[in-house]
Each structure stands twice: as structure tokens, then as C-alpha cells.
Amino acid sequence: MAKKREGGGRSRTQQAARFLGVSVLAGAVLAGIALPAAGALGLAAKTSVEGFDDIPANLRTPPLSQRTTILDADGGQIASVYSRDRTVVGLKDMSPYVQQAIVAIEDARYYQHGAIDLKGIARALNKNAQSGGVAQGASTLTQQYVKNVFIEEAGDDPDKVAQATQQTLGRKVKELKYAIKLEEKLGKRKILQNYLNITFFGEQAYGVEAAAERYFSKHAKDLSLEESALLAGIVQSPTRYDPVNHPEAATARRNTVLRRMADLKDITRAQADAAAARPIKLKISRPRNGCITATDGAGFFCDYVREVLLNDKAFGATREIRSKRWMQGGLTIRTTLDPQTQKAIQASLSKHVYEDDPVAGAAAVVQPGTGKILGMGQSRPYGFGTNQTQINLSVDRRMGGGAGYQPGSTFKPIVAAAALEQGISPYQEYSSPFRMAYPKPVQTCTGEWSGGGTLQNEDPKEVGPYAMKEATAKSVNTYYVQLISDMGICPAVTMARKMGLQRADGKPLVQVPSMALGVQEMSPLTMATAYATFANEGTYCSPVAIASITDAQGRALNVPKTSCREAMSKKSADTVNALLKGVVEDGTGKQAGLKGRDSAGKTGTTDSRYAAWFVGYTPNAAGAVWVGDPRHQRQMYDITIGGVPHDKVYGADTPGPIWRDLMSGALSGRPAPALPTVPIDDPKGAGGDGDQGTPKPDRQPNKPAKPGKKPGGGWHIPGFPDFLGGGNGGW
């Protein structure tokens, strides 16, 4: 019995196919296909009919691309992003007028025929015979929907779009078979709903909901009769009947739709005449698509969210899969962006660094313990114009940033943390001369470094001996090079990795003593996240930008979570807190100090002043501020930034005040907990034994440079700018 039913079905399909093939070829009307002489026509018919059974029965309908909405942590919209502006709605959310209008003008017998309109074919055949050409087609609304599915599946690939719209008999036969199956599977109302959601209405609007918003700034369910007729008339030729650019043609087409609706008794003749007498009244909502529409400088954060979706395997095993998901859209992405923090970042940057200054500024703020990115901004606006950019100066290259910037002395606390974890006392003293040669050899993770070169401090008066607190407060270069040379480079590299520090270009850290001075390029987000480790009692948490995602059906998607790990003991973290509180209270970072709340941080100014930094934190926020030339060409000597002239820029006098103002705004009205610290003023404090840290004789870390040795005769790391003795790092 099963075989009989199967065979009977096949027989009926073959009969339908033969009739279909003959009808298609005889009329040549399905989409205006012009066929050659009769002999070729007969051959084409035979071939098409024989291939009909080979066409898959089920049409694979890809999810319709829709707009993705990106929200901040409070639910406010940051931006709307889409490859095609579309919002899918059901028939109940479409005006009955627009449903009637589209059927009336595109397929008046839609509810009377099946997937193929035989009367329509005959009518078109007769019309075309009379005209001697292709004057009329006979594609049903269902067939048009199938064609639109092919176009949607092609996406933005021009070759695939050409294939989806090519005027060939084979494609038309394939289109017809799918139409037959869809009528059986979905029914008329569902097909009509799908058609109204997929169709292009011009002006970047796909689907009737987007069209209603674009032309009338209202929802599709609220469309009036004349508005519905106007939209239905656009479909045949979105360019010719565009009411924005061709209002007269659009009006005439609208009135044609109204007359057709009256002919079909959808409306009365009086209704049609009254609607036709009214002029078109548009209320245009211009497309606002993409991160460029974000306010408060959040365009770069918006771009970062996109990069997370494209790079994180939580959203698909391959980049192709992840890209397709992003292009498909329909997502509601709730992010970690705190609007108060974001406003404060942008206000401070705009105040202190003008967008047309010769250098730029960037800042990123994260929440200790959660890794949440609370804000991200820069002085040069997001865009394509003069003094604008789409490069995110706050992040690594793989996430849409550049090659990064030398962090200078803001790297010194990482070396201090590594030393403390190695059991070196904060009371460890080094001779810390003004100028010295790099000690050698120095142990690395894989061997020894035996390079050369010299380094010096910023101020000739900075001459030791110093212990760690004073050396950190004054940012003494020679102290930290002696320290890293004494303990070896590998502990510092290991600590940097534990704290999530990496070069912005993705390359491994170069193991040289000058790394203590911050000569390897990093991004503000990387530095802010690392410093959050100190505020979080020594536990590092990776940065996250996305709190939740729901798809177009409201289903929650898995999102990447922060990954936390212990980078150092609480005791070491608390000791660094004490060191860095000293920086903002009595050291180089006093201009960054916050009133009424505990804070800690470190200044940094690189060789030749290509970059200046302040990185700091409170228990509830950690932030990094960078100022410099993204191209690494403009030195910050004799320069005016934000209307303030500078003989030379320091991390203290430009990034420091930016950090102070943005953190004050971000934390206004919020709790002010105390930073846990270990007292280190008393040699018996910090749990230490008062050991002054006599250097190991075989390393000779406090051996000064030879008399008469000129600075600048040092060595060069490939890819780094030349500098004194491998880098003065900054102050």
C-alpha cells in the first residue's frame, strides 16, 4: 500500500510537472522569460519536466536577517546594528489594509488559486501575444516569496544574488516546485506573513514593519488605508515608486492600488476615492544603523562587542559561523557598559584632550572582581571624517585596536608584585644611581640575557639608596632594573601572564631587563584589567563586555563569562596597594588623587614622550588613561593638549587629571570602601623581618655605570623605537 501511495504521488507530481513545464514554456510569463525558437522551446520543456522530480521537495528558509539592538547595563540603547533593517512581526501586528493591499496589487486571486495561477498564466500569455513581447508576468505571491528566500539566502554576495535572480527556465521551475510544497506546508496566511516580512520596500527597509517605521515613523499595525496602499505599490519597483525621491510616481501607483482594492471589494469605491484625494504625508525616520550612531562616545565599545561575537567560540566553532550569526542579527545584547561611567569617561577626555589636538587620548574602566567593562572611550570621535577614526585605541589589535603603546612606568607595579611573590621584601634597598649600565647576565625563563646599554632616571637628583616604597613613589628607573635583574626576568613574565598582560600586537613578551620600564606595547583595557587584580586582593578576572543575549525568539544564548584566577597572594596585593597609594598621596601621581575615597595608581611616561599614562584603581573600579600619538611619530615636547601648553608631557600632568575627573564622575554617589593595605613605613611592618635586602654578589645589581660612559649607546629590540639603554621606560 505504501508503494502504491508513493507511486501514485509521483505520478501526480509528474503530471503536474509536465503540465507546469508546458504552461511555463508556452506562456513564457513567470518572470518575463523570453524564449528562443519553437524547437529549442520544446527541448527546454522536455529537459525541465524530466528534472522536476530531482528538485528537493522542501525549501530551506534561512532565518531572516534583522536588526540587532545593543543595550547598556541599565537597558538603555547604545546602538542598533543590522545588515538589513528588518523587524519580523506577525499578521496581528500588521494593518489589515496592508495585507489586503499587497494581495490586491501583487496577486488578486491569491486565495482562489494554488501555488500556480493557471488563469493568470493564460491571461499573461494572451497579453504577451498581443504585445509581441513580455508585457505581463504570472508569478503568484507564493512564487515571489520563494524568490525572495533565494535572495535572502544570497546575503550580500553579488554573485549569489545574481544566481538567485537570474531569468532562466531552470530556476523558475525550481521556484515553482518549492511554491507548491510551501502551499501544502504553510498555508495562505503564513505565506502572506512571511512575504510581508521578507519583501524589500526601498529606502533600506526590509519587511513591512521597517517600512512603516521608515516612511511614517509608526508601527505596521497602525498604517492607514492610503499608507498601506502606498507601501504595497512600492514593492513592484522600489526605486521607481520611491515616495521620497519620486512622489508623483508613488502617488499614481498608490492610487492604482486603491482602485484595485475597490475592484476586489476590499474597500468601497468611496473609500478609494477619498484616500486617493489625500496627498502623501511622509514622516521619515532616517536609517540609524551601526556603532556610529552610539552616543557618549560608546561607538568604540559597540565595535568591541561586535569583535567579541566574531572572535569568541562561545558564539560558534568557526569565524564563518560567527559572522553569519552576526549578519543574521535579531539579537538583543545587554552589555556591561555603565552609562554613568561612560559619560564620565567621555566628558573628561573631551575636557582635557581636544579631537583636533596633535595627539589623542583613550581610557578604559573595568570592575574589579567581575571583569565587567564599565566604560571605554577616546578623544577622537568614531567616524570617517577629519580627526575621526574607527580604530579603537583602548584595545588590542585583534579586537579592533592598533599596535598598542609602551606603558612606561605603569608596568613597574607588576615587577613589584613578582618580587613580593618571590619573597623579596618591600624594604629591599638598591643603590639606584642616576645612571647605570644594565646588569648582566640576567636569568630569563629559557636562559640568560647578556645584552648591553645604559639607563637613567628622570631627575639627576634621584640617587639612592631607595627601598621599594620611595622608589615606586618617585618612579625610579634604576631601582626597578636592579630589582628585575636581581630576581630574574622570568618571575616578572609569569606575573604579567597571570594578570592578563599581553602585547597589543599579539606577540610574546620579549624577556629583557628593560621590560621593567614598560617598553613593550600594551592597550589601556589590558592595563586596567591587570590593575584591577590589585584591587581584587590578588585575583585576576578577564574582561567581559556582554551580560546577556537573547535571539529574535526571545531565547537566551550562552555568553562568555569572566575567568578568574589567583595571580598573587592577598598579602602581596595589599602591599602593592600600599605602594601605589603612596604614589597618589606623596609621589608622581598626586594630581590624580581622589577626594574622599581611597585610590592607588601609577604614572608612566615613555622614552621620547610618545606616550603618557596613568593607571589606577579604587576597590570598585580600575581605569587606565593613555595620551599620545597613535602613529608613534609625534613626541610630546612643546605641545598644547586640551588648550594647555606643555614643555614636555608627564603621566602626572595630563593622563593623571583625566583619570581623576573620569573616576570622580564614574563613582559619584557610589560607595567609597577602603583599600586594604599592609603598612610598609615601619621596617617591621608588612609581616617582614626588616631585611634590607642585601643584593646577591654574583648579580652585582648595584654596580654603577663606568665613569664617562655616554647614555644612548645601548641596544635595540626589533620593532621597538630606539631608546637609551633599552628604555628609560618613563617616570
Q: Which three cell numbers stand for residue 215?
A: 516612511
Check residue 115 and give its pLDDT. 72
| pLDDT of 5 over the 60 cut | no
Check residue 687 and give its pLDDT. 36
Q: Which phi and psi (to 5°) does residue 398 adopt? A: -65, -15
pLDDT bin (cut points 50, 70, 90) of residue 149 is: confident
Return the SS3 of 311: helix
Which H/E stretch holds residue 486? Answer: helix 477-487
pLDDT bin (cut points 50, 70, 90) of residue 152 is: confident
**Between 208 and 147, the higher pLDDT residue:** 208
Check residue 279 and give its pLDDT. 95
| pLDDT of 370 over the 90 cut | yes
Out of 86-100, 120-134, 504-518, 697-711, least confident range? 697-711
Out of 20-24, 291-295, 677-681, least confident range? 20-24
Check residue 164 and give its pLDDT. 66
Strands (E), 349-440: 360-366, 373-378, 435-437
**Which string of DSSP letters, residue by residue, matches 209-225?**
HHHHHHHHSS-GGG--H
Check residue 66 and give its pLDDT. 87
Check residue 384 and give its pLDDT. 81
Neighbours of 497 (CB within 10 A): 14
Residue 73 has what DSSP assignment? T
Give me the mean pLDDT over the 716-730 stretch: 37
Rounded percentage of the chain residues whose pLDDT exceeds 70? 80
Give me the mean pLDDT over the 1-20 stretch: 42
Out of 33-37, 379-383, 403-407, least confident range? 33-37
| pLDDT of 391 over the 50 cut | yes
**Between 405 and 403, the higher pLDDT residue:** 405
Check residue 433 and give its pLDDT. 95
Check residue 626 and give its pLDDT. 97
Check residue 720 and give its pLDDT. 37
Distance CA 288, CA 291 (A): 9
- Contacts for 375 with CB less than 8 Å, ≥ 6 apart: 301, 337, 338, 341, 342, 344, 345, 363, 364, 365, 662, 666
CATH architecture of 66-84+290-731: 3-Layer(aba) Sandwich (3.40)
Domain boundaries, the chain: 2-54+86-277, 66-84+290-731
| pLDDT of 314 over the 80 cut | yes
Distance CA 146, CA 116 (A): 13
**Which string of DSSP letters, residue by residue, matches 157-171?**
-HHHHHHHH---HHH
Q: What is the CATH number of domain 2-54+86-277?
A: 1.10.3810.10
Q: Which amino acid is at 84?
A: R
Rounded percentage of the chain residues whose pLDDT exceeds 90? 62
Give me the mean pLDDT over the 525-540 stretch: 98
| pLDDT of 21 over the 60 cut | no
User: What is the distance in angstroms between the CA of the first residue and the CA of the last residue of the chain?
Assistant: 90
Check residue 699 and give its pLDDT. 37
Check residue 204 and give its pLDDT. 85
Check residue 126 and give its pLDDT. 57
Query: Mean pLDDT in the chain?
Result: 83
Check residue 361 and give its pLDDT. 96
- Comparing C-alpha atoms, which of 485, 492, 473 is closest to residue 726? 485
pLDDT bin (cut points 50, 70, 90) of residue 656 is: very high
**Between 490 and 27, the higher pLDDT residue:** 490
Check residue 139 and give its pLDDT. 79
**Between 481 and 320, the higher pLDDT residue:** 481
Out of 265-269, 610-614, 628-632, least confident range? 628-632
Give me the mean pLDDT over the 188-213 stretch: 94
Out of 322-326, 470-474, 572-576, 702-706, least confident range? 702-706
- Comparing C-alpha atoms, which of 705, 665, 608 is closest to residue 351? 665
Check residue 124 and give its pLDDT. 53
- Contacts for 309 with CB less than 8 Å, ≥ 6 apart: 315, 322, 325, 326
